[in-house]
Amino acid sequence: MGFSQPTVNMAETQVVKDTAAPKLIIPQLIVGLGNPGTKYDRTRHNIGFEVVDALAQAWQIGLAENRKFQGIYGEGSVTANTKIRLLKPQTYMNNSGQAIRAVIDWYKLPPEAVLVVYDDMDLPVGKLRLRVSGSAGGHNGMKSTIAHLGTQAFPRLRVGIGSAKDVHPDKDTVSHVLGQFSASETKRMAEVLEIAVSAIELSLKQGVEKAMSLYNNRTVTDNKGE
C-alpha cells in the first residue's frame, strides 16, 4: 500500500520565516569616551569614563592600562555565559576610534557588538538615550569611532550633560563640556550612573532595544523643590 507525501504550504512557511524574532543586539565591548589626565577628570565631557568606572565597580572587573589597545581595559563575566569587555580610550577624544578598532580587530568583534557611551549636550542633565545606530551628532569622539568602524550601525548610550546656555546665556561650549557638574547636578548624575548601569545590564540580557523601551523615557529630576 502506498503512502501519500504530506503537502507543504509554502505560504505558511514564508509567514514563519517573516515573523521570526529579530536578532538581539547584545554588546560585547562597552566603550566610555573621554580625555585622559587629571585635567579632564570628572568633567562633563568625560561622563563616558565615569559610566565605565561604574560598570567595573558593579561587575567587579579590574581596569588597567593596556598599551596594545591604547586605553584602560578590563574584562569579566556579568552572567555565567556573558563575557564583557570594558574600554576607556587614552587617545584623547578626537582619536577614540583608534583604540576601539584595536580591540575589535584583536577579538574579531563586529561593530554592532560595540556599545559606546558618551556625553550629549542636546540632552538635559538627568536624561539617557539608547540607540542601535545613528550619526555622530557633532561629537568628535563619535566621528572618530564611526570613521574607524566604517559604519554608523553600532549601539550607543548618550548621557545628557545639558547645553552651555542652560547654565548661562554667555557661556561658551568648550568651557561647558570641559567644566564640571554643579553640586546639585553631581547628585543627579550619581543616580544617572546607577540607571546607566541598569540599562546596560538589561541590554546584555535582553538586547539593546529592550533596554531602549524601558530606559529612554526615564528622567532623573532635581528634588530640591519637593
Residues tagged active-site = 45
Distance between CA atoms of residues 73 and 117, nearest Å: 15
Beta-carbon contacts of residue 170 (< 8 Å; ≥ 6 apart): none
**For residue 200, how many other CB atoms are within 10 A of its CB?**
27
* Size (the chain), residues: 226
* CA nearest neighbour of 128 among 156, 154, 158, 161: 158
Cα–Cα distance measured from residue 173 to residue 221, given in angstroms and rounded to the nearest whole number: 23
Nine cell digits for residue 193: 550612573
Distance in angstroms (rounded) separating the CA atoms of residues 196 and 52: 10
Write down the residue that cell numbers 566621528 correspond to: 143
Cell of 110: 563586529
